[in-house]
Every structure is written in C-alpha cells, then in structure tokens.
Amino acid sequence: MAAKKSRDWRSGNREGRFRMVQMTRHLVVTEGKETEPRYFEGVRAALGAANERKVAVVVKGTGKHTLDLLDFAVEHCRYAPETFDHVWLVFDKDDFPASDFDAMESKCAELTDGLRTFHALWSNPCFELWPLLHLRYTTAPMSAAECQRSLAQAMSKDLGIEYRKNLAGLFDVVDGKRSEALQRAGRLVTYHRGLGNVKPSSQNPATKVGEIFDVIGPYLVG
C-alpha cells in the first residue's frame, strides 16, 4: 500500500514541465498558519523586484501536520497552474509521533526526481528555534513552550521587541544575524552526530529551516 501511495504522489509530476525561461519556482508549505507563513512572506518580499523574475516563492500556511502536510503539498503541485522546482515543507516535532516526523525526510527523497525537489525543513521542538538561533546558541533539550519563551526573552533583551505568535516582520527583525543562525544550526548537527542522534526526532534542539537559504539566499536583497 505504501508503494502505491508513493506512486500516486508522483503521478502528475511530469505534466507541463518544459520552460522557455530560466526561473526557479518555490512552494513553501508550512504546518503553522501564523508565525511560519509570516516569516516566509518576509523572505519572499526580500527577493526584491529584480530577483522575483528569477526566483518566485509561493507560501501556503495549512495547519496540517507531518504526512498530511506532504499530501497537501503534492496535491497543490498537481493542480496548481504553476510548475514548482522546489517544494519546502516546514513542520515541527511538538507532540506528534516520532515515526511520522522521522518519515518525512525519506518521503521527500522518494518524491524528488529530476524535475522537482522536495525538502523537509523540520524543527525540533518547533519553528521558533530557527529565529532563536539568530540570537542564541543552545544544546539544551526543550519543549515548544520553552523554546518560544527563550525566543521571547532573547528578542526582548537583544532587540527590545516583544515576541508573539503572529508577529509581523519577524524575518526582517532577525535576518541581519542569518549567518550566525546558519553557523549555529550547523554546530547542532555536529553536536547531535557526536551523540549518535541520527533521527530528527532524537535531535532536540535542531532545525533544518536554514537549508532554504542555500538555494534562495544569493537572491535576497541586502
């Protein structure tokens, strides 16, 4: 049954894939409906008019979780008038089953072919770890509530800004320290590797959100 589902997911991927111009289109599908979409809308806006002709970003906040999020992304790709080269799935560990959380990377690998790449941008425990890493490095395991509280404290102390879930402009507020966040996220990868933590569900804290900037970072203004 799993193999059949995988084939069903892949069906429709090869229709209308020819291009006359060199442009990459990105679909960002987020589990959250507030913080994550607002952050990635900030990323999209930062492309600027010139680079928007080279990199187009569509952001969808769904409220769906793990494998349901992937199903939503595949269905959107199947029926959307646009053709997406990259699909970025942004989701948290929170309290969801470790098996579903860990399966997302392999499912994305199964769906990736020469026409479209699926990326699992997971965070453990939650998305707020990514903006927190712009301001602090920590290896302390934490719950989502603790992570959000740490972010709020760091933003208040360092930036004089009160953090809330629907904060507008989060990307602009923290992006000046993106290089530090990427370096700290990489340190966490090394830290967990040293502990033998291989599965995403065992890597608390850790996040892969920064990987999107490997692709679109060069196009961002500023």
pLDDT at 168: 85
Q: How many angstroms separate the CA atoms of 207 and 122, rounded?
A: 6
142 contacts: CB under 8 Å, gap ≥ 6: 125, 150, 204, 205
- The confidence band for 112, taking pLDDT boundaries of 50, 70 and 90, is very high
Asked if residues 23 and 53 have their Cβ atoms less than 8 Å apart, the reply is: yes
Average pLDDT of the residues in 161-185: 93
- C-alpha 8, offset from chain centre: 24
pLDDT at 174: 97
- The confidence band for 181, taking pLDDT boundaries of 50, 70 and 90, is very high
Asked if residues 116 and 84 have their Cβ atoms less than 8 Å apart, the reply is: yes
Amino acid identity for residue 119 in this structure: H
pLDDT at residue 2 greater than cutoff 70: no
- Work out the end-to-end distance of the chain between its first and last CA atoms, rounded to an integer number of angstroms: 48
- C-alpha 200, offset from chain centre: 14
Q: Which of 63-77, 144-158, 173-187 has the lowest mean pLDDT?
A: 63-77
pLDDT tens-digit map of 64-97: 887 889 999 999 999 988 899 999 999 999 878 8
Q: Return the SS3 of 215.
A: helix
DSSP labels, 71-131:
HHHHHHHHH-SS--SEEEEEEE-TTS-HHHHHHHHHHHHHH--SS-EEEEEEEES-TTHHH
Amino acid identity for residue 7 in this structure: R
Q: How many CB atoms lie within 10 A of CB 14?
A: 11
